[in-house]
Amino acid sequence: MRYFYAATILAALALSSPALSRDGNSVTIASPWEVASADPAISGFVIQKLQIMENLVDADVEGILRPGLATQWSVSADGLTWTFTLRENVIFHDGSEFNAINAAAALNRSFEQPGVLSKAPISSIGPGDGVVVFELEHAFASLPALLAHATTVIPAPGAVDAEGVPSALIGTGPFQVTEFSPPQALELVRFDSYWGKAPAIESASYLAAGRAETRALLAESGDADLVFTLDPSGFSRLADVPEVETVAVPIPRVLTLKVNASHPFLDDPQARQALSLAIDRAGIATAITRFPEGAATQLFPPVLSDWHDESLDPLESDPAAARALLMDLGWREGEDKILVRDGQRFTLELRTFPDRPELPLIAAALQDQWRAIGIDLTVNVSNYSIIPEGHKDGTLEVALYARNYALTPDPIGTLLQDFGTGGGDWGAMGWDNKAVAEALDRIASTADQAQRSEAVSVVSRSLQSELPVIPIIWYQHTAAIAEGLQNVIIDPLQRSYGLSDIAWAE
């Protein structure tokens, strides 16, 4: 028996030899997002970020579209037929050839799956001779932008199983998968017959670490070279660690309150303004997310340059004014400090979810700040599906979530869903604004800049005054970079980790 212990102890010692000394040409990435499946409809974001699969259309960090697997694209005069010319002699990681047939097949699948494409007015997607042809129901200018979206990446035909579900991570990207242990880990190596510029690094590993503390520790201990989405505290701590450089990039993700505008308490814009005025954005930005500059003054953050409108007068925090507005609406203070109007207490239920740790915190903060103006808020932290569910059955009152307005390089797709006629699950509820709806349609269908910007200002103004959703915080995309890692680009659109450009200093 004792020999057995000896053996195990020895083994333990053997194991505890220093962790993998960093091999010169490999990079380890840690982020919160798990890779549960090989299906782009489910894990497209990570697949795209890691450059395993590619889109027909690519985009740079400004969101300017550029050729991807398609070298060029054109639209017919009536705007109903789009033709994408495919790049030639591109091969998948499994050696099979990339061509119009399998491109069209992949796109058709992502058209059937929930995703951006399914929202577009597409009537058919068909392969042509070295091209893929989209037939539309009506003109839709931002189709190329949709084809840059993560759910429209092209998996290899060999990756698709009998049921037509992509079950292996095979694409055309500069990196191919050597080991996939869902949902946490991925091992990548450079794909040598990649059509484009060969990456500097030879291999990379991806690790999904759910807890922010773990990620921070990974960065601090040097186990991970590139760590994304740090918690405020971890971020400020890592700033003092010499081996690590921290960066924060504003991104077009906005933490907003969805308000049920058909709710008797909230149907009047004044009420919604009151809610907004009662929110101490500065406080939240300083104490919780810890980026004071993140306090939202309007829905669109500066990074969405052609949507952000400097001329708007910013959203203020002024509880007294908020109270006054509510008084105008006939609310009076009840004995328990909570407002009352014809016998009804001013109580609201806020729905949010824990997946983003800051949400429950901010919900708690709102609870406190609104109580100050006499609104009794109950917080329901649950699965985020309760928000669309509540939107559908009309039971939702207020919801707190983070909305990404750059799912596609051009936010219009998202905005159409959110503020188009009838509103959207993650946008307006019970709020129909003809002007805005028209403006959005105009933007979607035209490429003419003048018309666009005019329409844009219509949208942003009425959103600011009507507040169908109340913006609270503009997000920062945070990352920790190991020293010596060069040309790291933090993509505000979060389309790529920039693996193909990264290199270690000599």
Q: Select from 34-42, 71-79, 121-129, 465-473 the region that touches another protein (CB under 8 A).
A: 34-42
Q: Is 275 helix (H, G, I), strand (E, B) or coil?
A: helix
Helix axes 434-445, 412-419, angle to 10 degrees: 160
Output the DSSP codes for 335-388: TTS-EEETTEE-EEEEEE-TTSTHHHHHHHHHHHHHHHTT-EEEEEE--TTHHH
Type and span of the H or E element at 301: none
Q: Among residues 105, 200, 287, 338, which is the contact residue for another protein, using CB under 8 A?
A: 287
Chain residues 160-179 in contact with another protein, contact rule CB under 8 A: 163, 165, 167
Total of residues contacting another protein (CB under 8 A): 90
- Of residues 12 and 450, the one with the C-beta less far from another protein: 12
Chain residues 264-283 in contact with another protein, contact rule CB under 8 A: 280, 283
Q: Which two tokens stand for residue 83?
A: 């033709």
Q: Which two tokens stand for residue 218?
A: 């990974």
Q: Among residues 318, 349, 376, 425, which is the contact residue for another protein, using CB under 8 A?
A: 425
Q: Does 202 bind another protein (CB under 8 A)?
A: no
**CA 218, 220, 223 angle in degrees (round to 5)?**
40
Q: Select from 190-198, 315-323, 418-426, 470-478 the region that touches another protein (CB under 8 A).
A: 418-426
Phi, psi of 12 (to 5 degrees): -55, -45
Q: Does 386 bind another protein (CB under 8 A)?
A: yes
Q: Select from 38-46, 87-95, 123-131, 302-310 the region that touches another protein (CB under 8 A).
A: 38-46
Q: Does 262 bind another protein (CB under 8 A)?
A: no
Type and span of the H or E element at 181: strand 175-181
Residues near 16 by Cβ (< 8 Å), separated by ≥ 6?
none
Q: Select from 58-66, 100-108, 350-358, 460-468 the region that touches another protein (CB under 8 A).
A: 350-358
Phi, psi of 166 (to 5 degrees): -60, 120
- Of residues 100 and 278, the one with the C-beta less far from another protein: 278
- Of residues 50 and 209, the one with the C-beta less far from another protein: 209
Cβ of 137: how many Cβ atoms within 10 Å?
11
Phi, psi of 391 (to 5 degrees): -65, -45
Chain residues 365-384 in contact with another protein, contact rule CB under 8 A: 365, 367-368, 379, 381-384
Q: Which two tokens stand for residue 430?
A: 């019970």
- Of residues 95 and 357, the one with the C-beta less far from another protein: 357
- Of residues 121 and 183, the one with the C-beta less far from another protein: 183
Q: Which two tokens stand for residue 50?
A: 């890691």
Helix axes 319-328, 269-277, angle to 10 degrees: 160
Residues near 159 by Cβ (< 8 Å), separated by ≥ 6?
38, 94, 166, 167, 168, 169, 170, 171
- Of residues 30 and 412, the one with the C-beta less far from another protein: 30
**By rule CB under 8 A, what string of x and - marks binding of each residue 39-78 to another protein?**
x-xx--x---------------------------------
Q: Select from 5-13, 64-72, 458-466, 495-503 the region that touches another protein (CB under 8 A).
A: 5-13
Chain residues 103-132 in contact with another protein, contact rule CB under 8 A: 113-116, 118
Q: How far is the CB of 213 from another protein (least distance, A)?
A: 5
- Of residues 183 and 334, the one with the C-beta less far from another protein: 183
Helix axes 449-466, 412-419, angle to 10 degrees: 40
Chain residues 433-492 in contact with another protein, contact rule CB under 8 A: none
Q: How far is the CB of 22 from another protein (least distance, A)?
A: 11
- Of residues 215 and 442, the one with the C-beta less far from another protein: 215
Residues near 492 by Cβ (< 8 Å), separated by ≥ 6?
61, 249, 250, 251, 252, 303, 406, 477
Burial class (CB in 10 A: 0-12, 13-18, 19+), 338: middle
Q: Among residues 76, 262, 344, 385, which is the contact residue for another protein, using CB under 8 A?
A: 385
Q: Select from 6-14, 75-83, 133-141, 460-468 the region that touches another protein (CB under 8 A).
A: 6-14
Q: Among residues 208, 248, 322, 396, which is the contact residue for another protein, using CB under 8 A?
A: 208
| Contact (Cβ atoms closer than 8 angstroms) between residue 82 and residue 134 | yes
Chain residues 387-416 in contact with another protein, contact rule CB under 8 A: 388-389, 391-392, 401, 403-404, 407
Residues near 254 by Cβ (< 8 Å), separated by ≥ 6?
296, 299, 300, 301, 402, 403, 405, 471, 472, 473, 474, 475
Q: Among residues 123, 193, 236, 453, which is the contact residue for another protein, using CB under 8 A?
A: 236
Q: Select from 75-83, 129-137, 213-221, 244-252 the region that touches another protein (CB under 8 A).
A: 213-221
